[in-house]
Every structure is written in structure tokens, then in C-alpha cells.
Chain A
Amino acid sequence: MTTAREAAPAAAGEALAAPGRHQVTAFALMVALLVAAPYFIYPLFLMKALCFALFACAFNLLIGYVGLLSFGHAVFLGSAGYTSAYAAKTWGWPPEFAILMGTAVAGALGMVIGALAIRSKGIYFANITLALAQMVYFFCVQAKFTGGEDGIQSVPRGFFLGLFDLRNIMGMYFVVLAIFLAGFLLLYRTIHSPFGQVLKAIREHEPRATSLGYSAERYKLVAFVLSATLSGLAGGTKAIVFQLASLTDVHWTMSGEVVLMTLLGGLGTVFGPVVGAFIVISLENYLAQLGAWVTVVQGAIFVICVLTFRRGVVGEIARLINKPL
């Protein structure tokens, strides 16, 4: 896909190198900001942004590094959310197990959808993921346990690992931050590993990669499942934070939102999705009182990004300093 190739031309050349110093600096800066932030900014808002940042990073693995646009990724976020909410509320599981259960369900769903979709490419891939996502959405509307339009409410927060009281908002925040960083680092390691190299090779020229002996379909499927699983981690965590799982999280407009975050932040960059997620969530928060202006602004950002800003925020910064980010 031409897009990602455009987005990370510098990265392609330096792909084999160990994480550059600038990337370590950027990472340290990110962690420092995130650790200090809850003392100044409403922690619930930050936690929402972190969950979406993880979701966007997971999505970016698929579109930025494998070159596949999945237009139904919300189902992984939402199904994990419902599962975790149900596990915590009805089965009374402690939060870490509830979140793990949600993540596992998303991963399983990823395997099913991935297996069905992976043979298609490009627009057909997007279409089939959209169709399968709609089926999951309507299942969620009908199924008794999801609570339909009301969703699963009053999900208990409990004690994380038996130690951290999640009803304390700062305690909850640092748990969420830890989860986010774990997911982020896992994705980073994946991208900068031999596995990640093969993915990039497949994205650049699939027939050549196949002729070298790599089973393109199997690699793509693994990447898809990994992306789905980490999206599920984000979804499960979000359900515990907000104590609510609802249809909004499985609706196709949510799939569109994660595309927006990734595109705005920078497709195929490491830090892009995080930046994109924070910007979009901040915009939503700031504009929420103005009602439907949120969708207008989101749409406008899409249009502008596609027409003139295809590299995204982090992509442009990377181009300026001429190093991959």
C-alpha cells in the first residue's frame, strides 16, 4: 500500500538498527509526561486517552506495518469490553482476570475474523472486516448478556492483583498507565524484530516475500491476531475504568475513530497513534458541549489529513528531524 511507504521512508532504511537514541528519548519523554499528568489533568480523561492510545497503536500495527486497513476493528475493543464487564460484574472476577478474559476473547475473535478475511487484499479486506464487524455488532444488540442499548452498567472496579484499590482514581490511573506501557512495548518489540521485518517485506512486495519462502498469509494472520488481542486489552481496561460497556464500542463509527487517530498521528510511526489518540480525545472533550461539532471537526481532520497531511503529526516531525519515530 502506497500510503505506509510514503509515511515511513526513513524508517525503511533504518529498520534493522536498534532503537535510535532519539526514539529512546521520545519514549522517556512520553513516560515522564504521562506520570506527571494526573496531578494536573482530570485522571479519568487521561485514562480514556490511554486506552484509546493503546487501541490506536494496536491498529497501527496492522495498517502501518502490514498495510491492511481493517474497517471493523471496533469489535475487538467492544467485545473485550463486554466480556470484561460481564466477568467483573456477574462472575465477580477480580479486575486483572476480567481484563485478561476480555483480551482472550478479542484474540479468539481476531483469529476467526482474521482467518476469514486475510485472503483478501486492499478494499476487499476492508469490506469483509466491515461485514464481519457488523455481524458482531448485531449479535451484541441482540444478545441478552450485553444489555442491548443500556449496556452493562455498574461494573465493579475491585482490587487489582489484590493490592491496588481501583476505586482510588490515582491508583487506577497508574494501573492503566502500566497496562498501556506494557502493550506499547510489546508492539515496539514486535515491529523491531525479525518478525516485523518480514511484515514490512510483505507490505512492500508480497510476491517477492513469498518467493523468499515466507508464508505471507500466516504472517499477516499472526499480525492481525496480535492487533486484535491488544485492542482487546484496551477495551477490557476501558470497561473497568468507566464501569460501563456499551454498543458505542462495537459500532462501526468507533472503527472510523481509530482510523482517524492513527491517520492524524501518523501511519506507520511508533508514537503517532499515541499522539493521535490524545489529540482526538482532547478535541472530543473540549467540543463535547458543542454537540455535533465533534463529528464535523473529526470529518474535517480526515479530509485535511488525506488531502495534504498524509504523514500525520508524528510523521511530519519525523521528516523534519529526518529520523524514524
Chain B
Amino acid sequence: MVKRMAIALATVLAFGPAAALAQVSDGVIKIGVLNDQSSLYADLAGQGSVVAARMAVEDFGAEKKGMKVEIVSADHQNKADVGSAIARQWYDVDKVDMIVDVPNSGVALAVNQITRDKGKALLVSGAATADLTGKACSPNTIHWTYDTWALANGTGNAIVKTGGDTWFFITADYAFGHALERDVEAVVIKNGGKVLGKVRHPLNTADFSSFLLQAQASKAKIVGLANAGGDTTNSIKQAAEFGIVKGGQSLAGLLVFITDVHGLGLPTAQGLIFTETFYWDLNDKTRAFAKRFAERDKGIHPTMIHAGVYSAVTHYLKAVEALKSDDGTKVVAKMKEMPTDDPLFGKGTVRVDGRKIHPAYLVEVKKPAESKAPWDYYKIRATIPAEQAFRPLDQGECPLVKK
């Protein structure tokens, strides 16, 4: 990994500003993949996102078009200070033009501000907080794959409508957890349900016993898990130990990825219902991508975050090609102008508040008997059309949206 980066850097230094594109800064389009590579979010994004970005660059045919594209990556360790320092160093010293991915909403918000200050581009695939297209919206940021509002709208609605009207939240205590809890609570209340209690836990918690006990004591029908990655899988495993489901309550995984299901195994994960915006087994194009991805990433099939990185980088390169420049603010504006089209998400658009629009899917995890092949995990319960999947433009409080 380090060697690759060193070679990349050396190449840049050796070739200098020779470029086919006149106004591309230093003749190189440099993309930085910033995410968690060693902790609880490493599986759902991590190295897989780097693979997805490289595949996007290759499939775009950058070399044939004479565009020099470099990819670097770094681990933000889920810390806002580490992520900020990397972003600053990348923008100031290493001449990175665009940062992509950034799971962990706290880090994403920090990098969002820095990107705006320096006029670069940020394409968020991993982070969830809907504030990125709301209060914190910026002309330099596009929120690509999903957000807390879409999850709440999909999963929250579905569960409440089928009778889950009393909730207890177990929430990760940072920007993402708070946003997800807030958005799901709003949906629950709108549909006539009640929230009986909430408890916050630190990020990357190993032992959920006391939180699960509180959930049990509340007697809420639904225990909503407003967390992700390792936190979610730990909660689900320990809930089984403490007999939560046997006692009559249901678990609602508000943000679950296919890698989580893979880690939990179908016997434990079966029946979970949640919202995603991509599934590898949707159609032939997604299946083809998944096959190539798995070959390059140790057999792991792509999560919606990996797919989002691919889609975002593809659209970015198209915009840079059309503009013949990699100036952050201008490229983002161009990306909003151009409709999107890629094999993974199909046709879509990017709204003026920076929100990428595409359909969402309500999925249910199959029972072990129903699964015919490895990674064959989901049943598609419903498709939410693109116009309904995300928060309406006028409800976001984004200053870029003219009233």
C-alpha cells in the first residue's frame, strides 16, 4: 500500500505538468479515498472503496483519453482531528483535488468545511448524516449513496406500518447516531407511534449488555439500533444472548450492510429488514460489477458504499472531462448540471443541495434455506422510487436552495 503510494507520488513528480487537459491543476487529477481502514467501519468501506475507485478510473478509460488520474488513500481512524489533518495535508501539500468516501459523519462534517474553505471537491459515499445536504450543505460537496433521512423513511415507515409502534433506541453517541435517531423518531411519531426511551453508547463499544437490558425493561416492541458496522453486529449478537427476540421484542437494524450480514451469518441475521440503495444481485450489470469487484477484493461482494464510490468517481471524471478543469467548485456545479448514468445505480440526478437521487430498496435478509449461493442474502421487499426516497428539497434548511 505504502509502496503504491510512493510509486504514485514518484510518477507525479517525474512527469510534471505534462497533460492533455490544459487547466487540470499540475496535470494530474488526484483523488483521495479517506475512510476507516482498521476499525469498526473497515469492512463496509475500507480497502474496498479504494478498489471501487480504481475500477471506476479504469472503466472510464482515463488513460485512453489522456487524463492522468492518481489515487491515494488514508485511514482517518474515525477521529475528526486525524481526518481533518489528513484532508488539510492532502489539499495543501499533496495537491489532492477531490476526496471521496469518508464514512463517519463527524469526520465527514469536518472535511466538508475544510473542502469548502479550500474550494476543492468532496464526494461523500460512506457517511450518513442528512445534515450534509441540510444545514451543512456546501457548493463543494455531493452526498452520494444514502443518508439518515432515506433510511428513516424506508425502514422506519415500513416497520411502523406493520405494527411496530413503540420504540426504544440504542444510539451511537456521535453525529451519525444522533441524526439517524432524530430522523427515525420523526417518522415514528408522524405515523402515530411512540418512543419509549433512548440510550447512547460510545462509538466502537464491545459490550452492549447494560443497554440491551434497558431496552428490555422498556418493553418497547421495537429496539431500534441507530448505529453501524461493528456496533450493530455486536448489538445483534448480544441481543440473542439476552433473549431479546425470544422475549417478544424485535430488532430494527437502521443501517446494515451486506458485509454485516456476512459477518453475522444468516441464522442470526435472518428476518432483519432495512433500507439500502444498492444490491449486487439486482440485475446483470450489478452482477457483472460484483464479480469483478470480488475478484479484486478477496471474494467480498460490494456494499452500497463501494458502489457509491464507483458511481461518484465515474461521474466526477465525466464532469472533469467536459469542463477540462479539476477546480473543485466548478466541477461540483457541473456534476449537478449533468444527469448521472452508471451501471450500478442507473439513471439519476444530483440536486442543487448536493443530494444525489436514485431509488432505494427495502430488503429483508433471507432465511438460511432460501439462500442458494454465497452472498445471496437479500429479498427485495419494495422499491422506493427516486423522487420519494430522499428528503424533499424544501425541508432541508440548506442555504443553497432558493426558496
Contact = CB atoms under 8 A, between A and B. Distances in A.
Interface of A: 42, 44, 141, 148-151, 153-154, 242-244, 246, 248-249, 288-292
Contacts of A44: 88-89, 92
A153 B80 contact: yes
Contacts of B74: 288-289
B201 to A, nearest CB: 11
Given A151-B106, A246-B79, 15 more contacts: A42-B93, A44-B88, A44-B89, A149-B80, A149-B175, A150-B105, A150-B109, A150-B110, A150-B174, A153-B80, A153-B84, A243-B84, A243-B113, A248-B81, A289-B5
Contacts of A148: 173-174
Contacts of B82: 248
A153 B5 contact: no
B106 A291 contact: no
Interface residues of B, number: 27
Contacts of A248: 79, 81-82
A244 B2 contact: no
Interface string B297-334: 00000000000000000000000000000000000000
8 contacts: A42-B89, A150-B105, A151-B81, A243-B84, A246-B81, A248-B81, A288-B74, A291-B38
Contact of A151 (B75, B80, B89): B80
A248 B83 CA distance: 12
A141 B202 contact: yes
Most buried by B among A148, A153, A248: A153
A226 B110 CA distance: 33
Contacts, number: 61
Contacts of A242: 81, 84-85
Interface string B69-91: 00000110001111011101100
B37 interface: yes
Contact of B106 (A141, A149, A154, A289): A149
Contact of A149 (B75, B92, B203): B203
Nearest to B109: A153
Nearest to A245: B81
Question: Closest 5 interchain pairs by CB?
Answer: A149-B174, A150-B106, A154-B113, A246-B81, A153-B110
Interface of B: 2, 5, 37-38, 74-75, 79-82, 84-86, 88-89, 92-93, 105-106, 109-110, 113, 173-175, 202-203
A248 B82 CA distance: 10
B6 to A, nearest CB: 9
A290 B77 CA distance: 12
Contacts of B173: 141, 148-149
A159 B2 CA distance: 40
Contact of B92 (A42, A153, A154): A42
Nearest to A43: B92
Contacts of B84: 153, 242-244
A310 B186 CA distance: 60
A52 to B, nearest CB: 13
Contacts of B2: 289-290
Contacts of A249: 81
Q: Chain B binding site: helix, strand, loop or mixed by DSSP? A: helix
Contacts of B109: 150, 153
Taking chain A's interface residues, is the majority helix, strand, or loop, or is none over half, making it mixed? helix
Nearest to B37: A291
B110 to A, nearest CB: 5
Contacts of B174: 148-150
B80 A244 contact: yes
A137 to B, nearest CB: 12
Contacts of A288: 74, 86
Contacts of B79: 246, 248
A282 to B, nearest CB: 14
A255 B109 CA distance: 27
Contacts of B81: 151, 242, 244, 246, 248-249
A55 to B, nearest CB: 15
B129 to A, nearest CB: 10
Contacts of A154: 110, 113
Contact of A244 (B38, B105, B110, B203): B110
Contacts of A291: 37-38, 75
Nearest to A246: B81
Interface centre among A249, A291, A292 (most CB of B within 10 A): A291
A292 B38 contact: yes
Contacts of B202: 141, 149
Contacts of B75: 291
A149 B173 CA distance: 7
B146 to A, nearest CB: 20
A248 B110 CA distance: 15
Most chain B CB inside 10 Å of its own CB: which residue of A150, A154, A246: A150
A45 B25 CA distance: 24
Nearest to A155: B113
A289 B82 CA distance: 11
A151 B105 CA distance: 12
A292 B5 CA distance: 17
A118 B88 CA distance: 41
A128 to B, nearest CB: 25
A150 B113 contact: no
Contacts of B175: 149-150
B84 to A, nearest CB: 6
A225 B79 CA distance: 30
Most buried by A among B81, B109, B203: B81
A292 B37 CA distance: 11
A150 B129 CA distance: 12
Nearest to B113: A154
Contacts of A244: 80-81, 84, 110
Contacts of A289: 2, 5, 74
A150 B79 CA distance: 8
B20 to A, nearest CB: 30
A291 B82 CA distance: 11
Contacts of B88: 44
A38 B5 CA distance: 26
Contacts of B85: 242
